[in-house]
Amino acid sequence: MLRKIIFITITTIILGIALYFTFLYYFTYSEGDRTGDLIKFSHKGYIFKTYEGEISKGIVGVQLFKFSVLDSDKKVIEALNKAQGKYVKVHYIERIKTFPWWGDTTYFVTQVQEEKSPIIR
């Protein structure tokens, strides 16, 4: 009887944790596009190395959009590395929560396009 209770308790805890991670990974709070100058893109971290970036949305760089990129999105990482210093449009999803091995922000870029800047340079 005691073994059955322990088994049910452990199984319930494991299923609860699995459902929690599945929910956080697949459920998105919002998604959209942002445009601006890609001013920073780096691979940083002490224990968990994550890809982080910033897009300047204003002329003087006061409005920044900070984002993360999952390690599995190799095409996005490559496109962002090539587009540093250029005007880009990024498509992102916003998650409710993040974990240290995913990134610093809740915004995750999933697509990148170089765009023509509306400011004459």
Q: What is the pLDDT of residues 50-81, one digit of tens each?
A: 999 999 887 665 788 999 999 889 999 999 99
CA dihedral 68, 69, 70, 76 (to 10 degrees): 180
**Four-residue CA torsion sign, 29, 43, 41, 55:** positive
Distance of alpha carbon 99 from alpha carbon 101, whole angstroms = 5
Given a cut of 80, whether residue 120 has pLDDT beyond it is no
Contact 34, 55 (CB under 8 A): yes
The CATH homologous superfamily to which domain 29-114 belongs is: Nucleic acid-binding proteins (2.40.50.140)
Q: Is 73 exposed, middle or buried (CB count within 10 Å of its CB: 0-12, 13-18, 19+)?
A: middle
Q: Where are the domains of the chain?
A: 29-114
Query: Counting every residue, how long is the chain?
Result: 121
Q: What is the pTM of this model?
A: 0.80
Q: 119: pLDDT confidence band, cut at 50, 70 and 90?
A: confident
